[in-house]
Structure 1
Amino acid sequence: MVCTARDRAGARYKLKENIEQFFTKFVEEGKATVRLKEPAVDVCLSKANASNLKSFLAAVRLAHRGTDVEALPLSVLVPAKTSEVEKPKTKMIIMSRRDYPLTKNFPYSLEHLQASYCKLARVDMRMLCLKKLRTLDLSHNHIKKLPETIGDLVSLQELNLHNNHLESFCVALCNSMLQKSLQFLDLSQNKIKALPVQFCQLQELIHLKLDDNELIRLPFKMGQLSQLRFLSAARNKLPFLPSDFRNLSLEKLDLFGNPFEQPNPLVPSIQLKIPLTLLESAARATVNYRIPYGCHLLPSHLWEDLELAKTCQCGSACLSCFIQTTVTMNLHHVAHTVVLVDNMGGTEAPIVCYFCSLTCYSQFLDRYLQSNR
């Protein structure tokens, strides 16, 4: 018996000696087809539990052969209920604690789930079983920490955590399947002071909101977010922007309300050792000549240092030996639309510059002084 939303009474098909062919190549994915002789119908099965589907097909084979199936626990052929033939639920919106489901599981077919104003102190582990979830909106709750298993939501494209109590962003999420799926991330109105270096591995991000946090710096390798088009980090505590920021290509940028420092290229921070240490020289050569490295080749502290290599104005790498200063950058160089940085109408912000040697810094200084005469 096959029941549908239009025909809940169902159509009955004879099975004994009436199966022309079984198609079971994708049975492990919950898909199969049973082709009948009379009438000439293909019964297509999908979105089934693989184990249950195998049991069903085994029973159909026995019926086709005329085997006595009375011993099998078969259901009675009665018209289906409306709930049994309605389309799988793909969207659920919960806007109060009173409506939050405590005894029932979320439908596994959900693609969009919003649970706001529910006073959630943590992410409900039942949500992490929703493998088809594309949008997860947990804004306006009391969540303090994100579980690593959010990274197992392989289809997740949008994650909204606006107005929670987050103090950090889990490094494990940066190394998870979210690298390939996450396009929208809203971490605004939390208590985050810094994002991990690994955050820039979320290279599919298009829209990133970091407003109203306590950020004292942006990720060191921000420029690696090559797909990023919309960035807002207004009302934080940023003194300057990372050097890699100049590699971004944005449509809209909002950095309003940050206490940016006044750049002074003539007063650098000098962390240069002459001559260079053997470790510094070897590390620079590894990066400059693009010699392969990784945790399988080097001790963890060495390859982690290499991941944090800074780039001099000349294009060479430097690690712990460098000269650092800040210069002014017009934000229109990285964004088509720029929200004013302050109430004075400015669109400029300080950005960090690194120099691998006194020679590079001197050449920069000459150019800077000439341009300001």
Structure 2
Amino acid sequence: MRLPCEVSVVSRLLPSAGLRGPGRAVRALLSLGRSPAGAGGGGGGGGVWLLVSTARHRPGTKYQLRENLEQLFTRFVEEGKATVRLKEPAIDLCLSKADVSQLKTFLSAVKLAHRGTNEENLPVSTLVPPKASEVEKPRTKMTITSKKDYPLTQNFPYSLEHLQASYCKLVRVDMRMLCLKHLRKLDLSHNCIKKLPDTIGDLVCLQELNLQDNHLESFGVALCDSTLQKSLRSLDLSHNKIKALPAQFCQLRELVHLKLDDNGLVRLPFRIGQLSQLRCLSVARNKLPFLPSDFAKLSLENLDLFGNPFERPTPFVPDIQLKIPLTLLEYSARAVINYRIPYNNRLLPSHLCSDLDMAKACVCGSACLSCFIQTTVTMNLHSVAHTVVLVDNMGGTEAPVLCYFCSLTCFSQFLDRHLQSTR
């Protein structure tokens, strides 16, 4: 039975001798087993022994366990930490960064060995020094920048936290990557990936995802509904073929950095204002004719919208889709949104829930569903961002923003204010 973890060996006699204890913990492999007959270090006796092996000393140090355990400290076992206190020698083995389930099993076996349980009842064998690979520090970073270096016959180290596989001509995401549960940064830039698997959302620790310069045409709804909502901080989708992002994209509310340059985007998600943590947004060289009304809710540090074919604002040429009187569906939908009445697929048909999720907001704050007036107005981008890259070569920092109005009254009041401001 073996347990990989970090170990610090602390002698309880050092303070009485006026000496300081050892330094930080080191990576080690703890093994339980029978000591070979005639082995050195007092290992010739019976019972189960504990072997602590490190990269510097693979043969390790053996400690007898039978009636030699003074106490187990397991208060923080759920964090992968525990302390094994031995009687002879008077030392504490401080364990950390261990797998919780393995640690619990290991400590249970240590207790049984201390009580003198027959070796036949414990899953142990003769102690042997571990291989070098078993005591080395787990690999946390791996960088691959060519197809010839890409591993085909070996799995990725399970302990990886940062994986880069660029310029490898990948046409799909390798499913072996999706088993790396500790992965925090995944860089698959400069490949030929056309579609993302929904299971990327199972990487619960993923904070940075770089998909720059691929052949992506969409970003799936399933990814927006996954655990990425809580973990993802940085997303780079630049230099792809994405024309639109789903409305659910704005559920990725922990995003801080978002790059969408050089795609074919014709619109941004209309609820983009929900990305309250967003600080850096780059959507240069796309096909945006205007910005969504929710754009005004953003609070950015850096904004780049250069190279988009923005249309000239037309505040006096509205698109009127208002029905008078309003339909019963419109009245009901507005009431649900305005009074924040909870709804879900068990209370309402799914298509009505989808319509309510897509409800628009009037400048007065009220909701409107399918009956509204819309027009575009000018917004100075410095009102939402501290640093703005010029929108065009003429030095402009203004862009058209779509506005909605729930009634003729709201639209008339807007026109009055707009006329007064232009006089």
Q: What range describes the TM-score normalised by the shorter chain of this pair?
A: over 0.9
Q: Does 1:358 align with 2:358?
A: no
* Larger displacement relative to structure 2 (46-55 or 317-326): 46-55
Asked if residue 346 in structure 1 is aligned to residue 388 in structure 2, the reply is: no
Q: Which residue of 2 aligns with 1:5?
A: 55
Q: Distance in 2 between matches of 1:301 and 1:238?
A: 28
Q: Residues 113 and 133 of structure 1 are in contact (CA less than 8 Å); yes or no, is this contact kept in structure 2? A: yes
Matches within 5 A, 1:32-51: 32-48=82-98
What corresponds to 2:176 in structure 1?
A: 126
Letter in 1 for 2:191: N
Distance of 2:202 and 2:333 partners within structure 1: 35
Question: Which string of whole-angstrom CA distances, capped at 9 and with x for unpartnered residues, describes residues 255-284 of structure 1?
Answer: 000011111111111100000000001111
Q: How does 1:85-234 map to 2 (within 5 A)?
A: 85-234=135-284
**Structure number with bigger Rg:** 2
Query: Structure 2: 5+ residue runs without aligned partners?
Result: 1-50
1:92 Cα deviation from its structure 2 partner: 0.6
After TM superposition, the score normalised by the length of structure 1 is 0.94
Aligned ranges 1:221-300 → 2 under 5 Å: 221-300=271-350
Larger deviation, residues 163-172 vs 101-110: 101-110
Length-normalised TM-score, structure 2 = 0.83
Moved more, 346-355 or 19-28: 19-28
State the one-letter code of the partner of 2:311: E
Please say if 1:335 is aligned against 2:385. yes
- How far 1:250 moved relative to its partner? 0.4
- Taking the aligned partners of 1:248 and 1:49, their CA distance within structure 2 comes to 41
Tell me the CA shift for residue 351 of structure 1. 0.3
Cα distance between partner residues in 1 of 2:372 and 2:311: 21
When structure 1 is superposed on structure 2, of 209-218 and 124-133 the one drifting more is 124-133
Q: Give me the whole-angstrom Cα distance separating, in 2, the residues matched to 1:367 and 1:57.
A: 74
Matched-pair contact (CA < 8 Å) for 1:191–1:214: yes
Q: 21-30 or 38-47: which moved more?
A: 21-30
Query: 1:235·1:256 contact (CA, 8 Å) conserved in 2?
Result: yes
| Counterpart residue identity of residue 141, structure 2 | K
Query: What number of residue pairs does the alignment pair up?
Result: 373
Change (3 A) 1:266 1:52: closer
2:261, 2:145 → 1: CA distance?
Answer: 23
Q: Relative to 1, partners in 2 of residues 1:103 and 1:31: Cα closer, same or farther, differing over 3 Å? A: farther
Shift of 1:130: 1.1
Q: 1:196 to 1:10 in 2, by over 3 A?
A: same
Contact 1:188 1:212 in 2 (8 A): yes
Deviation string, structure 1 residues 76-102 (Cα, Å, up to 9, x no partner):
433333322221111111111111111
Structure 1 segments unaligned to the other structure (5+ residues) = none
Q: Distance in 2 between matches of 1:197 and 1:67?
A: 62
Would the alpha carbon gap of residues 13 and 325 (structure 1) be closer, same or farther in structure 2, given more than 3 Å must change?
Answer: same
Whole-Å Cα distance in 2 between the matches of residues 368 and 56 of structure 1? 74
Partner-residue secondary structure (3-state), 1:344: coil
User: Percent identity at matched positions?
Assistant: 78
Measured in 2, the distance between the counterparts of 1:251 and 1:265 equals 28
Q: Is the 8 A contact 1:15 1:64 kept in 2?
A: yes
Question: Is residue 310 of structure 1 aligned with residue 367 of structure 2?
Answer: no
Question: Cα RMSD (Å) of the superposition?
Answer: 2.0
Distance in 1, Cα, partners of 2:192 & 2:73: 50
SS where residue 3 of structure 1 aligns?
Answer: strand
The answer to whether the Cα contact below 8 Å between 1:59 and 1:69 also exists between their aligned partners in 2 is no
Greater strand percent: which structure? Answer: 2
Of 156-165 and 42-51, more deviation after overlay is shown by: 42-51
Distance 1:285-1:14 versus aligned 2 partners, 3 A rule: same
SS in structure 1 of the partner of residue 89 of structure 2: coil
